[in-house]
Amino acid sequence: MLVPVILGAVLVLTYIYFNLYRPLCYWQNLGVKQDNPLTLLKKLLLTFYNVIFKREDPLEAVINRYDKFPGSRYYGIYEMTSPGLMVKDADLVTQMLVTDYVHFNDHRVLIHDDLDPLFTKCIFALKGEEWQKVRKTVTPSYTSSKMKGLFSTMNEYSERLAKHFLSRKEDVLRIEMRDTTTRFCNDSSAKMSFGINVDSFAEPNNEFWQMCHKAVDTISKPKVLSFNVYLLAPKLVKFLKMKIVDWDADSFFRQIISDTMKIREKERENGILGADLIHLLLEGRKRAKMNKDKETNVKSTYKNYNADWSNMDIIAQAFFFHFASCAPAPTLLSFMGYELAVNPDVQEKVREEIRETDEICGGKLTYEVLNRMKYIDMVVQESMRKWPSVIEVDRICSKDYVIQPVLPEEKPVLVKRGSRVIVPIYSLHHDPQFFPEPERFIPERFSDENKHKIKPNTFTPFGFGSRTCMGSKYSILQAKLMYYHILSHFEIVPVEKTKVPLEVAKIPRLNAEGGLWVGLKRLDC
């Protein structure tokens, strides 16, 4: 009886050593600083418990990782047993992700292609030459001139939001910012992406909103658990069909986008040119094919275009635009509202700028006039600094890369192909050596007089280098428009549910514990 027990114990310990403990020595064996492997093993065994019961604060984890090993430019970390290199030094970040970006130009994507093509075929998830082709094809759809074309729709939905609040009779209208801004983004994106009219305030439980809510949910226990299972057993995720986008939401958006594409194609045949994203993407495919036809004898040139876009490729780009509009974008909008509520002096400066702008344009806001408003732009930038939508960004090394020593204790470190590099955006944004008094909300950091003082690549709310988010202009324009119309009619004030200081929720996305509650007090005008 004793022999089988001993044999079983030996087998278990052998498995733990070779499959769990030894992988946690990866960086230590390369001479790179890291935590003790036994400490890491203990954390690994507790990971699923923390995920399921949400005991771990992801923001606190990011802050702690940045503060670890003071004076070091980088050190080794692990996600489950997968090694990653935490890069803390801004100059090294610039060197690796901007100057030498060809080595680090891909994101890690923990999704199976055949389970979630809506994600794996979008520009964020694509890699290498395929990404380059799609980027070149899609880029013209996100230029300033295209954003100008979407301005009237964005302005219309921002006005509609303000009118909805004006229709309420409360002296102080209490709203939860995350829910409010997600509904606003859902409705405006539905129109700008697909040409579909949705009103998630008049009809709170409409089908489009419900499917959007399912599609953008990446923080529920099952979704977070599936990400962690993928790290240890990706084949199990595929076997269990653990999708990121629920099956019904997947089918819904595929059908919606396919139907819209058919309508836009017929409209183009009749000389009618739409202004939504589907139209722009179809134009991008047409433009790529034209380039290919013109350059059939110069193959090396037209390889830079994705001229063979399938309908599924376009569906994926359109879906991801909507996903990005309704997942990361509300972080900026909701925290900006909170900061305006608890910083009334800043709010009044924005309102004064709005009054001056109204006088200049006679109440008819234009794209050009809005872009000349400097103070509200400073408020948007400071909101993104203090509350970035993405608290960390990663890259996958596509070609072996050597980090040359700079500090006395360093030696050359080989970052192997396939290794993961992590940059703590939130921590860089809150490092007092780059942003004095980082917890204070100071829009003047981004004034014309001061913004040149910001060290390159310490303020990166939209990522780095060539993989900078293409929707950055859209997000900033949306934030300025929404608050232009709200602050024209309301004062944003703290209410009994507004927590000062704010307590960050223990979920894998920036939000406040108990919600981001503010009040809208009608202006006497």
Cα four-point dihedral sign 503, 505, 509, 511: negative
Query: What is the Cα–Cα distance from 476 to 376, expressed in whole angstroms?
Result: 10
| pLDDT tens-digit readout, 157-190 | 999 999 999 999 899 999 999 999 999 999 999 9
Query: What is the Cα–Cα distance from 353 to 278, expressed in whole angstroms?
Result: 35
**257-282: average pLDDT:** 83
Q: Cα–chain-centroid distance for residue 252?
A: 23
DSSP, collapsed to helix, strand or coil, labels residue 516 as coil
**293-317: average pLDDT:** 64
The answer to whether the CB of 357 falls within 8 A of the CB of 365 is yes
Q: Cα–chain-centroid distance for residue 153?
A: 23
The answer to whether the CB of 244 falls within 8 A of the CB of 218 is yes
The answer to whether the CB of 307 falls within 8 A of the CB of 291 is yes
Question: What's residue 149's pLDDT?
Answer: 81
**Higher pLDDT pick, 460 / 56:** 460
Over 80: is that where the pLDDT of 196 sits? yes
**190-205: average pLDDT:** 91
Over 80: is that where the pLDDT of 110 sits? no
The answer to whether the CB of 479 falls within 8 A of the CB of 333 is yes
Pairing mode of beta strands 420-423, 82-87:
parallel
Question: What's residue 482's pLDDT?
Answer: 97
Over 60: is that where the pLDDT of 301 sits? no
| ω into 456 cis (within 30 of 0) | no
Residue with tokens 């009040």, as numbered in its chain: 519
Token code pair at residue 139: 């880029």
Question: What's residue 293's pLDDT?
Answer: 63
Question: What's residue 27's pLDDT?
Answer: 95
Over 60: is that where the pLDDT of 307 sits? no
pTM for the model stands at 0.90
Non-local (6+) Cβ contacts of 78 within 8 A are: 23, 24, 26, 34, 40, 44, 84
Residue 260's closest CA among 245, 246, 244, 280? 280
Query: What is the Cα–Cα distance from 164 to 106, expressed in whole angstroms?
Result: 42
Pairing mode of beta strands 401-403, 413-415:
antiparallel
Buried b (16+ CB within 10 A) or exposed e, 134-162: bbbbbeebbeeebbebbbeebbebbbbbb
Question: What's residue 79's pLDDT?
Answer: 83
CA dihedral 199, 204, 210, 212 (to 10 degrees): 40
What is the fold, at CATH topology level, of the domain defined by 113-149+197-327?
Cytochrome p450 (1.10.630)
Angle of CA points 89, 90, 91, to nearest 5°: 95
Query: What is the Cα–Cα distance from 414 to 445, expressed in whole angstroms?
Result: 37
**342-362: average pLDDT:** 96
Question: What's residue 298's pLDDT?
Answer: 45
For residue 231, the 8-state DSSP code is: H
**193-198: average pLDDT:** 89
Residue 123's closest CA among 391, 319, 331, 417? 319
Non-local (6+) Cβ contacts of 324 within 8 A are: 469, 471
100-109, 270-279, 348-357, range with the lowest pLDDT: 270-279
Range among 143-147, 268-272, 359-363, 445-449 rated most confident: 445-449
For residue 490, the 8-state DSSP code is: E
* Amino acid found at 483: Y
Residue with tokens 């292609």, as numbered in its chain: 113
Over 80: is that where the pLDDT of 488 sits? yes
| pLDDT tens-digit readout, 27-73 | 999 999 999 999 988 887 776 566 555 556 778 888 888 999 999 99
Query: What is the Cα–Cα distance from 58 to 425, expressed in whole angstroms?
Result: 13
Token code pair at residue 93: 């970040």
Average predicted confidence (pLDDT) for the chain: 87
Question: What's residue 300's pLDDT?
Answer: 40
Query: What is the Cα–Cα distance from 130 to 302, expressed in whole angstroms?
Result: 13
| pLDDT tens-digit readout, 224-260 | 666 666 666 667 777 777 777 788 988 999 999 999 9
Question: What's residue 218's pLDDT?
Answer: 67
